[in-house]
Amino acid sequence: MYQVNFLPWRQQRITRNKRRCFALFILQSCLVAIVVIYNSSQQQFEQTQWQITKMQLEQHVAQKQQQIKVINEKQAKLAEWQTHRQHLNRQAQSNRTRLNLLYKLPELTPQKSWLAKVSLTGNNLEIAAVSYDFHDISQLITRLESNPLLHQVQLIKMGKTRQVNYLHVSAHYQEETNE
């Protein structure tokens, strides 16, 4: 019988298969490496985009916080100015009311009498009046008591010197409230 040696072909075939498998393995490894590198670069790109977005949002938040701070400061300043304006309005109203009271004093003073001293400090009104007629000077107290802006009218001093009657009166002044 004749024997044929198939071993070299088998060896060559096995070597060829090994080379193909090795080439396929290298190709697969390269593809896996490319996919890994691509995914890594994609993740890095996305991370960079997220960081940029985060920085932009942080800047936006910082701007908004600054705007809120400025608005709050302006609101506080506005409230302060409004309070100041209300105070000035109350003071102006008080001054108008006091001026009105001072304008009414000639009407309250009897005809043959005259005012020697008028002092309006705080809520205290002091009046010194002089008259030749005792009846006229005593009417002043009654007229002051009938005025709705004055209360606790008190006679401090009353007398007569050289045919002239004098009167010193104190009263508490109450401002009108328009509420």
* pLDDT of res. 102: 82
Residues β-bridged to residue 157: 168
pLDDT digits (tens, 9 = 90+) for 149-165: 788 888 888 888 888 88
Spans of the chain below 70 pLDDT: 1-7, 175-179
* pLDDT of res. 179: 42
* pLDDT of res. 162: 83
* pLDDT of res. 58: 97
CB 156 within 8 A of CB 169: yes
Residue 34 phi, psi dihedral angles, 5° rounding: -65, -45
* pLDDT of res. 61: 97
Question: Does the predicted model carry a pTM greater than 0.75?
Answer: no
